[in-house]
Chains A and B, each alone.
Chain A
């Protein structure tokens, strides 16, 4: 392991999770580092634990073995936020009282109580990332920084990506682009592949479904395409049934990106509900409970429009 470049070593960031052997976050076999904190509030969010910037407590009641066998956490909470439900003898969290101090976490033997997010240094992150280094070379993979919104921690992300590149690792990010341009460009200069989301076209609907207007986002994207002509951009849309699964949206994204030759692809990510369980861990409610999945036929049709625009014929 090479020494970290001067200056980068001390920088820390709030990391949610490091996932190995990722195959859907850019080319090849990749290691994806999820950062904490996001400026959007998408109703379909599948990583709700990534939204708040600070570390937060989570609780998986299925893993709790109950007060009779254990009860170790009850003594630890300074806020009295933990209590036992008589019906199953298991612990619950009073989310109104919990301050996310995390004191109960080390006491829990089953990891039913656990924390989303921790401070890590660039060096610590790369030590874990580099366990997969042999696979990058073979597969054309590398490091992907995701979120939350990774450009929301510009100093850390830039240091991490720069150091990864210095060590010969291909870099990619996943971003929604809703940050000040300064942040955005600070990170982007160290990135080989920028996967960026075009969630909705209409600013009003964007605000309704994702919490903010898309004006700054689109402006950032446009500037990024021209500021970093050597960088590869991949546009993406999470396809949410009834929200943005229409041809109009796809065509307007295509109109936006096609003038720029460095936007090399446009990918559709069909909506899934894998994140639903995590809302429960955080004591939150999943808004899209009754949403259907996207029909395969819709995806095929929309994909056809994209393929046509990129001059690709069906194999």
Chain B
């Protein structure tokens, strides 16, 4: 490592330098062997069995109610998908047949583009973000999946159903674009997933089992009497029953397989393990979990089955694991069945199962936005109980420790922080953050709980939220907003405001409104007005996308397992994907998202105000001509723009532009409510979409060249906030409309060098920073604690850094799995300095 001799290193950097397998603490030989094998497998490969059996079943059930067909398909999958158990595995269940990373395929979602998508991935073989598609995989896609689904999938029909102008802004002017690529002016994520990130109520499955849930569905089915219910609700309860049976069957096949393998196994220890696996899988999830290990196995089967059911973009999240697993853990501990060390090993087995599942859709547009094979099955720890007391327990610490030894990006750990979070817990969290793997991310109860309450949720229930996806949250029995959002490119909106609605990258095509030539704007207010009109127009199209998806989804998508685990869906006898029609009592938080460029837009507007109107240092001609030429021959003008006042430095009028941008969206959302009176929410969670969004955005008045990444999440432009983390946080708080009920979570990345948090004093400092972040009512924060030199060295010598984990967005990933453009973006992020 080309570090200065006295450089302070994070635990991760030290482990890489010293070639150690274990980052911190200890991990069993079993876990390390499994991890080695998984890493040796290489890039993820598509796994098609689920798609094949799903398709077979759908061919056989045409014309029947959709949710019932979905349940039958799950049953067909459960009965036929290969059952594989590998050496050393303790927690079993997988949708693929190899020990390594895989990617499930969902032809009912995007079958029309599958063929082209597979070809694109084959062509990109060896590129960092390419998944493996073998010749045999390609043959199955071409001959089995594509012919049936071509034209029948959700994605194709969604695009067809969009009004022409809403289609154009996302899918461009090519009439043959069936969704393989998007414009990145507005990104639609409905086409990339059946559902938003989601948290099923796992606790319900652990305490009641498939049997208990089946019994409830049966009782509800038998109570139906009204002809309308018999026509519309009966299929749902039937589907729930079939799904419970399917999940039980899936687990039983593992019990049988484990028993067979045990009989053939000579090694007495492994034979005993297989016998245990057989006994556990014969009991859960069909029955309530009696032990900690049964609970973990039941959780994993349920999670895996939810994944077989649908593509949850942002993934099927794990929920408040230290809460719902605690009863069995405590009982086992008291009765001598488990030790904290044994619990850690079981967790690590679970993390290794999780890390093998990657989320890579067949659309290259989706791949660009989710680099590093993103998936973030967030495990929530900490927070408060429904009674309002601190919720941390011994299992919170076991979970925290279980993540430290492994040099993997999983699990995605998220800690809930509140005003009374104990010092012990915060200290432990800060220590793990300092390991440098970017974990855990933090969500703030002081923002989230009032937010839920402001949206009509009872305090008790609000206190029980789980972290979900990147930096979001869910109430597992209250929220119904499963539909993918659309995302705005704040940079492209800036461009349209300056170019009369046209986008240069697309040969000056008209994407936005005709708001005029800025040379004619007499005041800054007129500039702002043009920006506001373009912004509202884009937001309008985002909402049209969501409404169009909501209208179509009941015909194309269902999720009986996820629905039967949801109180409201079970009560109503309706699949959650019908949430376009309001579920009484639901929080239906559909949202609009920012794909990046929030700070780019603030800085651009600030530069215009400062340079053209306030100081008159530049004329519109000078600025627009320089931007048009991408600053070529205009370096002095670019430098003037770069040195104009920037967001993130405590300059009130600049930060206030951010507030105006957010408020515009929120006021628009509020004045255009959904039929049940709830508003769309605004979030700012670009994942990695701010990189491709930048590729289509021309030079911007903040001095940024054309094609360069836009700013990330809610944070200031890369390297432009120079006054340290205190001022940065203060500015962000000021630019954010925290008080609006339409304001949901934002993504807040902070990067520091390990020297800044070295030693016990550094840990304390980090704790203080977190306390202040919490009191300032930010929603989310996460840290990359790493030396810039390490990242530069990793670019030069990827072979030395194949296990280097970095924080990307609401997930962590291997640095070497990122494209060079994404790596450059991570390196350019502001390194917060403490003097």
By a beta-carbon cutoff of 8 Å, the part of chain A in contact with chain B is 19-25, 28-29, 31-32, 65, 69-70, 72, 109-111, 128, 131-132, 134-135, 138-139
Determine the main DSSP class of A at the interface with B.
Answer: mixed
Given known A-B contacts A21-B724, A65-B635, A29 and B643 have beta carbons under 8 A apart: no
Min CB gap B619→A, angstroms = 15
CB-based contact B643/A111 at 8 Å: yes
Min CB gap A122→B, angstroms = 18
Q: How far is the CA of A140 from the CA of B834 in the complex (A)?
A: 16
CB-based contact A65/B639 at 8 Å: yes
Among candidates B771, B776, B835, residue contacting A21 with C-beta atoms closer than 8 Å:
B835
CB-based contact B650/A65 at 8 Å: no
Min CB gap B430→A, angstroms = 13
By a beta-carbon cutoff of 8 Å, the part of chain B in contact with chain A is 635-640, 642-643, 650, 723-727, 730, 761, 764-765, 768-769, 771-772, 775-776, 832-835
Q: Which residues of B contact A23 (CB under 8 A)?
A: 761, 765, 834-835
Min CB gap A294→B, angstroms = 12
The residue on A at minimum CB distance from B637 is A109
Q: How far is the CA of A135 from the CA of B774 in the complex (A)?
A: 11
Min CB gap A182→B, angstroms = 31
CB-based contact B835/A25 at 8 Å: yes
Q: Which residues of B contact A131 (CB under 8 A)?
A: 650, 726-727, 730
Q: How far is the CA of A72 from the CA of B617 in the complex (A)?
A: 12
The residue on A at minimum CB distance from B833 is A21
Q: Which residues of A contact B832 (CB under 8 A)?
A: 21
CB-based contact A135/B639 at 8 Å: no
Min CB gap B758→A, angstroms = 10
Q: Which residues of B contact A25 (CB under 8 A)?
A: 835
Given known A-B contacts A25-B835, A131-B650, A109 and B726 have beta carbons under 8 A apart: no
The residue on B at minimum CB distance from A21 is B724
Q: How far is the CA of A110 from the CA of B635 in the complex (A)?
A: 9
The residue on B at minimum CB distance from A110 is B639
Min CB gap B10→A, angstroms = 18
Among candidates A32, A70, A138, residue contacting B635 with C-beta atoms closer than 8 Å:
A70
CB-based contact A109/B640 at 8 Å: yes
The 6 A-B pairs with the shortest beta carbon distances in the complex, nearest first, are A109-B639, A21-B724, A70-B636, A20-B724, A22-B835, A109-B640
Q: Which residues of A contact B723 (CB under 8 A)?
A: 20
17 contacts between A and B (CB under 8 A): A21-B726, A21-B833, A22-B834, A22-B835, A24-B835, A29-B834, A32-B835, A65-B636, A70-B639, A72-B636, A109-B637, A131-B726, A134-B772, A135-B726, A135-B772, A138-B768, A139-B765
The residue on A at minimum CB distance from B650 is A131
CB-based contact A21/B772 at 8 Å: no
B643, B768, B833 — most chain A CB neighbours (10 Å): B768
B639, B775, B834 — most chain A CB neighbours (10 Å): B639
The residue on B at minimum CB distance from A19 is B835
Q: Which residues of A contact B637 (CB under 8 A)?
A: 109
Min CB gap A178→B, angstroms = 24
Q: How far is the CA of A3 from the CA of B572 in the complex (A)?
A: 59
CB-based contact B834/A21 at 8 Å: yes
A70, A111, A132 — most chain B CB neighbours (10 Å): A132
Among candidates B639, B642, B765, residue contacting A29 with C-beta atoms closer than 8 Å:
B765
The residue on A at minimum CB distance from B774 is A138
CB-based contact A132/B727 at 8 Å: yes
Q: Which residues of A contact B642 (CB under 8 A)?
A: 109-110
CB-based contact A139/B768 at 8 Å: yes
Q: Which residues of A contact B640 (CB under 8 A)?
A: 109
CB-based contact B772/A128 at 8 Å: no
Q: Which residues of A contact B833 (CB under 8 A)?
A: 21
Q: How far is the CA of A83 from the CA of B400 in the complex (A)?
A: 61
Q: Which residues of A contact B771 (CB under 8 A)?
A: 138
The residue on B at minimum CB distance from A140 is B768
Q: How far is the CA of A31 from the CA of B650 in the complex (A)?
A: 14
Q: Which residues of B contact A132 (CB under 8 A)?
A: 726-727, 730
CB-based contact A128/B650 at 8 Å: yes
Q: How far is the CA of A70 from the CA of B637 in the complex (A)?
A: 9
CB-based contact A21/B725 at 8 Å: yes
Min CB gap B263→A, angstroms = 58
Q: Which residues of A contact B769 (CB under 8 A)?
A: 29, 135
Q: Which residues of B contact A109 (CB under 8 A)?
A: 636-640, 642-643
Q: How far is the CA of A135 from the CA of B771 in the complex (A)?
A: 9
The residue on B at minimum CB distance from A66 is B635
Q: Which residues of B contact A69 (CB under 8 A)?
A: 635-636
Q: Which residues of B contact A70 (CB under 8 A)?
A: 635-636, 639
CB-based contact B835/A134 at 8 Å: no
The residue on B at minimum CB distance from A32 is B835
Min CB gap B558→A, angstroms = 48
CB-based contact B635/A20 at 8 Å: no
The residue on A at minimum CB distance from B764 is A139
Q: Which residues of A contact B724 (CB under 8 A)?
A: 19-21
Min CB gap B612→A, angstroms = 15
Among candidates A19, A29, A65, A72, residue contacting B768 with C-beta atoms closer than 8 Å:
A29
Q: Which residues of B contact A24 (CB under 8 A)?
A: 835
Q: How far is the CA of A206 from the CA of B62 in the complex (A)?
A: 95
Q: Which residues of B contact A134 (CB under 8 A)?
A: 726, 730, 772, 775-776
Q: How far is the CA of A134 from the CA of B727 in the complex (A)?
A: 10
Q: Which residues of B contact A32 (CB under 8 A)?
A: 835
Additional A-B contacts beyond A21-B832, A109-B640, A135-B772 (15; CB < 8 A): A20-B726, A20-B727, A21-B726, A22-B835, A24-B835, A72-B636, A109-B637, A109-B638, A131-B726, A132-B730, A134-B726, A135-B726, A135-B768, A138-B771, A138-B772
Q: Which residues of B contact A28 (CB under 8 A)?
A: 768
Min CB gap B532→A, angstroms = 28
Q: How far is the CA of A25 from the CA of B726 in the complex (A)?
A: 16
Q: How far is the CA of A19 from the CA of B765 in the complex (A)?
A: 17
Min CB gap B736→A, angstroms = 15
Q: How far is the CA of A50 from the CA of B821 in the complex (A)?
A: 41
The residue on A at minimum CB distance from B641 is A109
Min CB gap B179→A, angstroms = 44
Q: Which residues of B contact A139 (CB under 8 A)?
A: 764-765, 768
The residue on A at minimum CB distance from B640 is A109
Q: Which residues of A contact B768 (CB under 8 A)?
A: 28-29, 135, 138-139
Q: How far is the CA of A138 from the CA of B774 in the complex (A)?
A: 11
Min CB gap A79→B, angstroms = 22
Q: How far is the CA of A111 from the CA of B771 in the complex (A)?
A: 36
Q: How far is the CA of A24 from the CA of B835 in the complex (A)?
A: 7
B640, B643, B726 — most chain A CB neighbours (10 Å): B726
Q: How far is the CA of A32 from the CA of B638 in the complex (A)?
A: 32
Q: How far is the CA of A132 from the CA of B724 in the complex (A)?
A: 10
Min CB gap A226→B, angstroms = 32
Min CB gap A303→B, angstroms = 15
Q: How far is the CA of A24 from the CA of B761 in the complex (A)?
A: 11
Q: How far is the CA of A138 from the CA of B426 in the complex (A)?
A: 14
Q: How far is the CA of A69 from the CA of B772 in the complex (A)?
A: 45
Q: How far is the CA of A22 from the CA of B764 in the complex (A)?
A: 14
The residue on A at minimum CB distance from B635 is A69
Q: How far is the CA of A303 from the CA of B834 in the complex (A)?
A: 24
Q: How far is the CA of A22 from the CA of B765 in the complex (A)?
A: 11
Q: How far is the CA of A70 from the CA of B725 in the complex (A)?
A: 34
Q: Which residues of B contact A19 (CB under 8 A)?
A: 724, 835
Min CB gap B647→A, angstroms = 14
